Structure 1
């Protein structure tokens, strides 16, 4: 019998009420994450990546119009839990979250050691002494000296603050950690240092990661699989090797062509046009207006097709029908 994936997301929808109408930020997402695996969610700003993280962790704003689907954690649909049960059994205990801006996630008037220890005290009922001891351990794990436990967030660099937030997510030893743009606004050397630390944690602890980013180069360091997101949907899902070596979806090809490379004679190419409004997405393929391969059938919404090395490519080019 095949082992169940650690996380299985099925037909997940997260819509918001706004003055412009209902924004379909996450619109029918399907994906899985295995134990000890790193799934990278790539895509342009505004495609729904951060909303996907919020939906999985149920850290939601007040204007939610719809949150539906199934989020199975080790076979149990935790999206069906009421808020109290989800907080008590899932959030921080089995799933951790590293927010996009580390400074905003930290209380400026509380020492970072106390903030890192807090999830263990609140969610696991640990004593203050045990939580402080564990905070020292995770500080070492993320590459921060224990001397920094007594400092305030404003006394740390951006890279140090990012490591502190990572330590906060790891202190309760969750099975899965969601990282929302963990290296944004950091210099290249600090980005590389944090990615190397994540690879070490994944290797030594077997922690699973969902890395949400628009940085193709950085994501390739950690990825086992890639989910490419566009206008609220996953348009390509498969192995990182297949994606970075030979992307299948037209958007994936253009995205990879836009990335500058050291050993490449061709200049990076910009993707023409703009993503559609998530308040009024087109009825057919959402990438059609920007796609150089557009044809008649793109007026219909494509399902996901299996392609070599990929679990799903949401494009009619792979349906076997000749182009008009």
Structure 2
């Protein structure tokens, strides 16, 4: 395994709503090694985007209760004040490509100026040097250098996605978080974006957290997989293990819902719907939808270590593995 780059322990995030306090991220922990790609999977509303916002401190006004520990390259991030975090961590340590980022570009500013802006604002580079660096990153993500002089409306959706990726990479961060980077793109464009990410990973050694609900696309990049359900991390495994032999019943149901080219069995839908995070179940949060539930599911399961890099939060594995923390 690679040296630890990002270490997350007991991360929590609450939202204050009219219906009460909603815990969107509940006791989440994982480690991302240098040059590794962690894929975070789960249904819509399970807390994936909230996890990204918690790591980047990009929180809405109704957010509260941010807890736990986050270490980047051994440095504790939560004790940092907002200004220090913005100046020393954002863009240089951690960068984020937001969901629906194709619409994040300013339509009246040339793309190159926007990609170069983090270098000018955060690192104090002069304009010509910053634009030269932007041109280098454009080439890395598969964009021609002359696109620096174009406006966002002159680019296709896939090109705008690559430009936003270039903006995240321009200051050479240790780790980039991508929230649904291919959700609004056609299949061929998705493949191009994933190839660009693999090239960046190989050439720069950049770490990635890829947040998505697209199992098939994510398998192209993943070294590790974290599966979230109703705010909790229910399985953590290396990619080869997760995609071939998932341990949690939800993971198994999720994999059974994915169409496969060389398999006659039809995809199966997961019955039911996730619980409300305003009033989550006391025990296992997947129990109401699980075909294998039994009496112990009325209690919240711990994480059981089934293998050196596989931990599953399910009572079915209490005889198979040792209790651990995901």
TM-score (normalizing by structure 2): 0.96
Look up the match of 2:214: 215
User: Once superposed, which parts of structure 1, at least 4 consecutive aligned residues long, lie more than 2 Å away?
Assistant: 308-311
Separation of aligned partners in 1, 2:309 and 2:32:
14
1:1-324 map, 5 Å: 5-308=4-307, 310-320=309-319
What is the CA–CA distance in structure 1 between the aligned matches of 2:252 and 2:62, rounded to whole Å?
35
Instruction: Give the secondary structure class of the aligned counterpart of 1:235.
Output: strand
Q: Per the alignment, do residues 174 and 156 of structure 1 end up closer, same or farther by CA in structure 2, a change over 3 Å counting?
A: same
How many residues align structurally? Answer: 320
Measure the CA separation in 2 of the matches of 1:102 and 1:84.
Answer: 24
- Rounded Cα–Cα distance in structure 1 between residues aligned with 2:19 and 2:137: 44
Q: Please, which moves more after superposition, 303-312 or 230-239?
A: 303-312
CA distance in 1, matches of 2:302, 2:200: 36
Which ranges of structure 1 fall in alignment gaps of 5 or more residues? none
Change (3 A) 1:223 1:138: same
Encode CA deviations 1:17-47: one digit per residue, 9 max, x unaligned. Answer: 1112111110110000000000000000110
The Cα of 1:165 is off from its aligned counterpart by: 0.4
Give 5+ residue unaligned stretches, structure 2: 321-326
Supply the distance in 1 between the matched residues of 2:309 and 2:315 (Cα, whole angstroms): 15
Structure 1 residues 261 and 117 mapped into 2: Cα distance closer, same or farther (>3 Å)?
same
Deviation at 1:154, TM superposition (A): 1.5
Secondary structure of 1:79 counterpart: coil
1:22 touches 1:65 (CA, 8 Å); kept in 2? no
Whether the 8 Å contact between 2:102 and 2:160 is mirrored in structure 1 is yes
| 2-structure distance, mates of 1:125, 1:65 | 33
Give the SS at the match of 2:78.
Answer: helix
Maintained 8 Å contact 1:236/1:310: no
Residue by residue, what CA displacement relative to the aligned partner does 1:78-116 show, whole Å, maximum 9, x if unpaired? 122110110011011111111111233211111111100
Q: Say which SS state the counterpart of residue 247 (structure 2) adopts.
A: coil
Mapped to 2, the partners of 1:183 and 1:3 lie a distance apart of 27
Does the aligned pair in 2 maintain the 1:239–1:309 contact within 8 Å? no
- 1:186-208 per-residue CA deviation (whole Å, 9 max, x = no partner) reads 00000011101111110111000
Shift of residue 311 of structure 1?
Answer: 3.3
Preserved CA contact (<8 Å) 2:302 2:314:
yes
Are 2:2 and 2:33, in contact at CA under 8 Å, matched by a contact in 1?
A: no
CA offsets per residue over residues 166-223 of structure 1, 9 Å max, x none?
A: 0000000000000101101100000011101111110111000000000000000000
